[in-house]
Homo-oligomer: A and B are copies of this chain.
Amino acid sequence: MTTERDDIQHLAKFRREIRRFLQFSEQAAAATGLQPQQHQLLLQIAGAPNGTQVTIGYIAEVMVLRHHTVVELSKRCEAADLVRRTHDPDDRRCVVLELTAQGQRALHQLSDVHSQQLRELAPSLILALTQIRNSKP
């Protein structure tokens, strides 16, 4: 019972840390004039493993969203001149997503502050994870 309570406190602490990070991230995105999800889209486009074709479907998978949600998100980003949408000439069903110059600028700016923030938060996140991992299975 005592370990149960400890476990729950550890889980709660982990979620507080995550939430604080996400809140930071949302504010950083807003400060750059982006919606949080727009930032995530840019990040997943630019941060895909080398050689990946970045399509709607790929993004839907890695962001764990329905594809039509990604359609809408990518269109909002296109309208904001952050993302370019082109049809793959080899399979014209597929839409390939790339960053515009402005999208790259925004992402690099955001990535800098995120790296820095994560370097600060990493120790307590790792600690929380370690505590959870060491709880009785």
Given the complex of chains A and B, what is the CA–CA distance between A20 and B64 in angstroms?
A: 7
Q: Does A130 contact B (CB under 8 A)?
A: yes
List the B side residues contacting A10 at CB < 8 Å: 47
B4, B16, B43, B125: the one contacting A11 at CB < 8 Å is: B43
Q: From A9, which residue of chain B is reached at the shortest CB distance?
A: B47
Q: Tell whether, in the assembled complex, residue B8 and residue A111 are in contact, meaning their CB atoms are under 8 Å apart.
A: yes
Interface flag for A40 (CB, 8 Å):
yes
Which residues of A are interface residues toward B (Cβ below 8 A)?
4, 7-16, 18-20, 22-23, 40, 43-44, 46-49, 62-64, 107-108, 111, 114-116, 118-119, 122, 125-126, 129-130, 132-133, 135, 137
CB distance from A135 to the nearest CB of B (A): 6
> Contacts A47-B8, A64-B23 known; A119 to B107 CB distance under 8 Å?
no
Contact indicator A122/B111 (Cβ below 8 Å): no
Contact status B135-A115, CB under 8 Å: yes
